[in-house]
Amino acid sequence: MAKMLDLTKGDERKTIIKYAVPLILGSVLQNLYSLINSIIVGNYLGKEALAAVGISFPLIFAVISLIIGFTIGLSIVIGQYYGSKQYDNLKKSISTSYIVLVIFAVIMTIFSIATGKYLLQLLGAQPEILSQATSYFNVFCLGFLFAFPFNATNAVLRGVGDSVTPLYFLIFSIIVNFILNYLFVAILHLGLTSTAWASVISQILALILMIVYINKKHPFISVKIKEMKFYKNIFKYIMKISLPSGIQQFVIAINAVVLMSLVASFGTDAIAGYSVATRIDAIAGIPAFIFSSALANFVAQNAGAFEFKRIKNGLRETLRMTVSMTIIISILIIIFSKSIMTIFTKDINVINIGSEYLRLINYFYVLYAVMFAYQSVFRGSGDTMISMLITLAAIWIVRIPFSYMLSRHLGTLGIWLGIPIGWFVGVILSYSYYKSRKWELKFVMQMRERHNAPPELADNI
């Protein structure tokens, strides 16, 4: 299908674009599917079902965030080993990661299903949506057993520069998911839980096909159960990179849980409006999220090759691209926010709450884009701890307190206002740490200690 891309060569801008385009297409398709699914649920099952999905999502994302954090770290480790041509360690990293993820997936599936109803009640699920939300959540959690290894496989491919192949399997998964969703809900009238079953089935099929493909086309990153082996030292290194990323993603997810609990205190209409708006809003975040992901892998490979000048050039080009795209998308969403909301629901209160959120947040999305770009440099170089600490400060010291205090006086508008305030603080902290150059020095010292890298390799700093 696609060749692995060496990110340590060629023009930085063109290389990042070539790597990022499949990621952008995948993210756009994923978000479009999410929007279409919300349209189906909202129009066929009503605003209660829409709210049930919305209030379940923060809990689902809280679990998924842990695997996202782990796979971010895994992709960085793979990229560093690939960039420094350490193929034996690359293979060991893959084997160790799958063993860890399968065990973790089983644990999280059991835990999530056992506690789902109580967590939804704590989150503020009203009696009219609790039953639907619980059923939906429990079925969706079964998909963790397949979503975890699927995301790990994607991370491995991205780490070695192949961002195209994951796109093909994502498209397959989305198509199957959409067909099953429409069949189950619109034709067979099986209810909200059937949409969760559609997700589980599509994940199973996509995972099977992806593993078959990799084993045939890329033997040196193949996934074979009989060859799986746990390597303690490799595990420690992966966790050193992944754990802060996992905590960072989990903090972001818990932030979503807290914000949803604040929103839930304003009723079902607020939950429905916020749920739809965040799905629309996710489109504005695509450039920031995708280009930062591409930059992180670009940095990982180039850090492995000690090409620090390319890293700085890559950051500059990424900032130019992501900021310009974010501004364009945000302007369009601000202008058409109310019209877009009417596609999902005809309830005036839900429309007004959602459009209020969209207009305010998109005025400041460029801050989010800039913050993510700088943090991608830290993650790609393996300095994931500072990225985690900045996120903790921006969310828990700034965003959540401001959202809570302002909501007491301004209602839901106050909740929204706390978000860009947190972004602003995150930008200041991220830029300051980047200019300090500590992330560069940490990586060089780490590589010298672990792999006896010769001093002359650091001349590109």
More confident residue, 343 or 328: 328
Name residue 66's amino acid. L
Confidence band (pLDDT; 50, 70, 90) for 443? confident
Non-local (6+) Cβ contacts of 58 within 8 A are 123, 253, 256, 257, 259, 260
Task: Determine the pLDDT at residue 6.
Answer: 65
Assigned domain for 455 exists = no
How far, in Å, are 104, 171, 236, 248, 402 from residue 223 at the CA level?
18, 21, 21, 28, 47
Longest pairwise C-alpha distance within the chain = 67
138, two tokens:
């429990």
Does the pLDDT of residue 128 top 80, yes or no?
Answer: no
**Closest C-alpha to 321, from 300, 297, 299, 290:** 290
In this prediction, residues 116-135 reach a mean pLDDT of: 82
What backbone torsions phi and psi does residue 383 show, to the nearest 5 degrees? -90, 65
Angle between helices 232-264 and 47-83 (to 10 degrees): 150
Q: What is the mean pLDDT of residues 215-223?
A: 73
pLDDT score at 220: 67
Would 374 be classed as within a structural domain? yes
- Asked if the structure places residue 456 within a domain, the reply is no
pLDDT the model gives residue 440: 77
Report the SS3 class of residue 45: coil
Q: Is the pLDDT of residue 26 over 70?
A: yes
The pLDDT confidence band at residue 199, using thresholds 50, 70 and 90, is confident
On whether residue 322 sits in a domain, the answer given is: yes
In the predicted structure, residue 277 carries a pLDDT above the cut 50: yes
pLDDT above 80 for 427: yes
- Domain span at residue 382? 12-450
Q: Which pLDDT belongs to residue 22? A: 78
DSSP state for residue 460 in the 8-state scheme: G
Residue 119 resides in a domain: yes
Residue 457 has pLDDT above 60, yes or no: no
Residue 147 domain-assigned (yes or no): yes
The CA distance from 203 to 166, in Å, is 13
Question: Does position 243 have pLDDT exceeding 60, yes or no?
Answer: yes
Top-confidence residue, 424 or 460: 424
* pLDDT, position 450: 55
Check if the beta carbon of residue 389 is closer than 8 Å to that of residue 311: no
What's the number of domains the chain is made of? 1
Cβ within 8 Å of residue 24, ≥6 positions away:
286, 287, 290
Residue 103 lies in a domain: yes
The pTM (predicted TM-score) of the whole model is 0.70
More confident residue, 255 or 418: 418
DSSP state at residue 398: I
As a whole number of angstroms, the distance between CA 65 and CA 201 comes to: 21
Q: What is the mean pLDDT of the chain?
A: 82
CB 400 within 8 A of CB 255: yes
In whole angstroms, give the CA distance from residue 262 to residue 242: 30
pLDDT classification of 374: cutoffs 50, 70, 90: very high
Give a yes or no: residue 247 inside a domain. yes
How many residues in the chain? 461
What's the confidence (pLDDT) of residue 194?
87
